[in-house]
Amino acid sequence: KNEVEQSPQNLTAQEGEFITINCSYSVGISALHWLQQHPGGGIVSLFMLSSGKKKHGRLIATINIQEKHSSLHITASHPRDSAVYICAVTPDSNYQLIWGAGTKLIIKP
Amino acid sequence: NAGVTQTPKFRVLKTGQSMTLLCAQDMNHEYMYWYRQDPGMGLRLIHYSVGEGTTAKGEVPDGYNVSRLKKQNFLLGLESAAPSQTSVYFCASSYKVSEAFFGQGTRLTVV
């Protein structure tokens, strides 16, 4: 079993829809990261969080440490949000990131 | 501020050739990482470094070597390239627990 599981693997939605991507992990962590990768592009860090909730523009990330679960939400989705969204955790036993497999999001106009 | 810079961005190698990928960061980060990304798979850690002069193996280290002679540079070497090493390679850097900053990637094809 992977230590970081993301769902769904693929998500297609219409412009304007509210998007939720989930991440569950099985190890103790000191931080959880959400990153974005556009097709053929580099990887950009969106959030790093260890508790509660963070918001940046239309993106919201939440984490529940007790349930070992995080969600990434996108409000008023737009075609430019189409990308792969990756969840990763920094385990509290060392500082190597453990990566989820990513969620491929397509937003249709 | 350049952040994390990888060179080259693209490369085609023949089987058995060698090459070195360079990663440079200007953020004084302690931790540096080399990953490979293959279609349908997540990022896989090849090697990493927790400071100047130190390196350690990651999940898929075979066929690769690394060096970190200076804090700002992390080099990934392929001594004898194989088609299985065709991939996109990403370098990243961070403090101990902080955002990871990534380079733009190197697309390597081994024929």
Q: Chain A neighbours among B 60-79 (CB < 8 Å)?
A: none
Q: State whether B42 and A43 contact (CB < 8 Å).
A: no
CB nearest to B42's CB, from A42, A48, A101:
A101
Residue A28 identity:
G
Residue B71 has what pLDDT?
96
Task: Output the DSSP codes for chain A.
Answer: --SEEEE-SEEEEETT--EEEEEEE-S-EEEEEEEEE-TT--EEEEEEESSEEEEETTEEEEEETTTTEEEEEESS--GGG-EEEEEEEEETT-S--EE---EEEEEE-
Contact with chain A for residue B96, Cβ under 8 A: yes
- The partner residue sitting opposite A96, judged by closest CB among B41, B45, B90, is B45
User: Rounded distance, CA B78 to CA B62, Å?
Assistant: 10
pLDDT at residue B40 tops 80:
no
Which residue carries 């500082």 as its tokens? Answer: A95
Site from A35, A87, A95, A103 to mutate, B interface, most B CB atoms within 10 angstroms = A95
Task: Residue A69: name the closest of A25, A7, A6 by CA.
Answer: A25
Dihedral sign (CA B97, A28, B49, A41): negative
pLDDT in tens, A44-73: 999 999 999 999 999 999 999 999 999 999
Question: Which of left, alpha, beta for B25 (phi over 0: left; psi -120 to 50: alpha)?
Answer: beta
What is the mean pLDDT of the segment spanning B90-99? 86
In one letter, which amino acid is B87? S
Task: State the average pLDDT for chain A.
Answer: 93
CA distance B8 to B102: 15
pLDDT surpassing 60 at residue B1: no
| Residue appearing with tokens 């997540």 | B42
Q: Which of A32-36, B13-17, B90-94, B98-102 has the lowest mean pLDDT?
A: B98-102
Q: Which of B31, B97, B101 to mutate to test the interface with A (most CBs of A within 10 A)?
A: B97
Using one digit for the tens of pLDDT, what is the confidence trace for B11-23? Answer: 999 999 999 999 9
- The single-letter DSSP state of residue B62 is T
